[in-house]
Amino acid sequence: MSPRRLLPEGARRGWCPSLARPMPTGDGLLARIHPPLGRLTPSQLRAVADGARAHGNGHIDVTARGNLQIRGVSEASAPRLACALAEAGLGDTRDDGGPQRLTLTAPLAGLDPAEQIDVPALARAVEIAGRAVPRLPAKTLVAIDGRGAHGLGAVEADFFLFAEGPGQVAFGLTGESGPLRCGLLPERQAAGALGLALMAFAEIGGRRMRDLDPHQRAVIAAVAGFFPFEPTPLAPAPAPATPGLTALSGETSALLVQAPFGRCTASRLEQMAHLAEGAEVRLSAERGFALVASSRRAAALQAELARAGFIVAPGDPRRRVAACPGAPACRSGTTPVPDHAAQLAQALAPLAGLDVSARITVHVSGCAKGCAHPGPADLTLVGREGAYDVVLAGSPSAEPATRLAFEAALDRIRKAAAAGLPALDPVFQDDVPG
Ligand code: SF4
């Protein structure tokens, strides 16, 4: 039997939506906003909230690439949303179907005194180089990290520019089993070499670097100046900063917050914009925000944003659960996914002492598309006709081990948490056919 199940009507894999090219989903069109370098002002945050309310379904997602998206947009409202956001300085950056935002950097890039290269300057140069490359695949991603105190952690990108000593950059690309280090470059040459590699990548025509064969990768590395191609594993970037306060230089601090399940309402985003007035706002790949302000102000913001429902502490159990909008926001869903995810997170709270806070252990998905977390989780509940297919250590489209009403699944997780079990699957094993 095939382990994959059918995706809902309207679902698309591989589409990279923008404002001009919103993507059809189960809940209408999805429009994605790509703030340059992942930074935006409080008034731009307000424009996003207004746009979601006026032209979408009033909810905003923060994506795993640190972008924002609005769901529930219609054919009629999409152009109006694009216009409003362009006026706010958040419009698309290219109209040829290429990547709207090519680079991913850590939210504290440029503020971390331990960084060994000027990450924002390099990211700007790479964005400019990328815009000059026609036919660049829409999902192309370049991860740039300065190896400061906090970084991007393990990240799935096509190309990597990671500091390796002051002013030195290791050039990497994705291989079959992870990032490969091609060689070392002076920082001032990194954007140029990457631009050449992007041209070769576009010319070859693969959608992602991982789709290419070793010979094609060797060609790209050679074009970038690395010949012969003798790659070694690329060391991962430092782990990302966790929610909470991080002291920066002088009297400045950054407050890292996450949106529960990567999602917030327009009103909640507006509240953040209001509270963050005067602070700098950056998006993070942990589906959240970094607010940079005076240390005193940042501490006050932490309490206020906790009251507004954001995740402001590393041990918050909602960090372990991924969830999509579900029903009724998405027509492909038949269960109230965020409510159920919040209950599951609460049930997991007794396990807070276990070292699992940095990864997703539970995924509640409204259907097999798995918008919130397409990869595997320890436990995935996939909504279908009002109940859940239960997938153990698999992705949402994998064959389920059993099928349960939500209350029954919750009851089992509560029992596992009360017993302090380090893994969740034993409580579902009874249902697994032998
Ligand atoms: S996974 Fe969730 S948001 Fe995505 S299509 Fe299915 S129900 Fe909708």
Q: Are residues 114 and 216 in the same domain?
A: yes
Place of tokens 């690439």: 65
Residue 8 confidence (pLDDT)? 45
Residue 8 Cβ contacting ligand 1 at under 6 Å = yes
> Does residue 16 line the site of ligand 1, with CB under 6 A?
no
Residue among 367, 382, 391 whose CB has most ligand 1 atoms within 8 A, to mutate: 367
| Any atom of ligand 1 within 6 Å of the Cβ of 28 | no
Nearest atom (ligand 1) to Cα of 25:
5
pLDDT exceeds cutoff 60 at 356:
no
pLDDT higher than threshold 90 for residue 432: no
The CATH number assigned to the domain holding 413 equals 3.30.413.10
d(CA 150, CA 152): 7
> Domain of 30?
23-97+241-307
* Six-digit token string for 333: 């869903």
Same-domain pairing of 171 and 218: yes
Strand spans (E) along 251-374: 252-258, 263-265, 280-284, 288-294, 321-323, 362-365
Q: Is 326 in the pocket of ligand 1 (CB under 6 A)?
A: yes
C-alpha 151/C-alpha 169 separation (Å) is 15
> Is the C-beta atom of 72 inside 6 A of ligand 1?
no
Which residue lies with its CA nearest to atom 4 of ligand 1?
A: 371
263 lines ligand 1 (CB under 6 A): no
Q: Assign 374 a pLDDT band (cuts: 50, 70, 90).
A: confident
- Separation of alpha carbons 425 and 178, rounded Å: 28
Pair 136, 195 in one domain: yes
Q: If pLDDT is split at 50, 70 and 90, which confidence band does 158 have? A: very high
State the average pLDDT over residues 212-234. 96
Is omega for the bond preceding 179 within 30 degrees of 0, making it cis? no
Would you call 278 helix, strand, or coil by DSSP?
Answer: coil
Choose one of 307, 338, 362: the last residue of a domain: 307
pLDDT reading at 292 higher than 70: yes
Domain count, the chain: 3
In angstroms, how far is CA 71 from the centroid of its own chain?
A: 16
- The predicted pLDDT at position 277 comes to 93
Q: What is the pTM of this model?
A: 0.89
Q: What is the mean pLDDT of the chain?
A: 91
Residue identifier of the C-alpha nearest atom 6 of ligand 1: 367
Report the alpha-carbon distance of residue 371 to residue 331 in Å, rounded: 13
Cα dihedral sign, 41-42-47-49: positive
CA of 363 to the centre of ligand 1 (A): 12
Angstrom CA distances, 266 to 53, 57, 71, 279, 433, stand at 6, 9, 12, 19, 45
425: pLDDT strictly greater than 80: no
Q: Are residues 119 and 222 in the same domain?
A: yes
- Asked, for residue 358, whether it belongs to a domain, the answer is yes
Quick: pLDDT tens for 104-119.
999 999 999 999 999 9
Strands laid side by side in the 142-145 sheet:
103-104, 142-145, 159-163, 168-175, 178-186, 232-233
216 and 141, same structural domain? yes
Can you read off the two tokens belonging to residue 180?
């490969």
Distance 373 CA to ligand 1 centre (A): 10
Q: Which CATH number fits the domain that encloses residue 270? A: 3.90.480.10
**Ligand 1 pocket residue status of 336, Cβ below 6 Å:** no
Please say which residue of 212, 233, 254 terminates a domain: 233
Same domain, 192 and 292: no
Residue 385: CB atoms within 10 Å: 9
324: exposed, middle or buried (Cβ count in 10 Å: 0-12, 13-18, 19+): buried
Does one domain contain both 211 and 260? no
Q: Is 3 in contact with 398 (CB distance < 8 Å)?
A: yes
Shortest CA distance to 170 belongs to which of 156, 160, 155, 158? 160
Q: Is residue 9 part of a domain?
A: no
217 and 303 assigned to the same domain: no
* Closest residue to atom 5 of ligand 1, CA basis: 26
Whether residues 114 and 206 fall in one domain: yes
**Atom number, ligand 1, closest to the C-alpha of residue 372:** 1
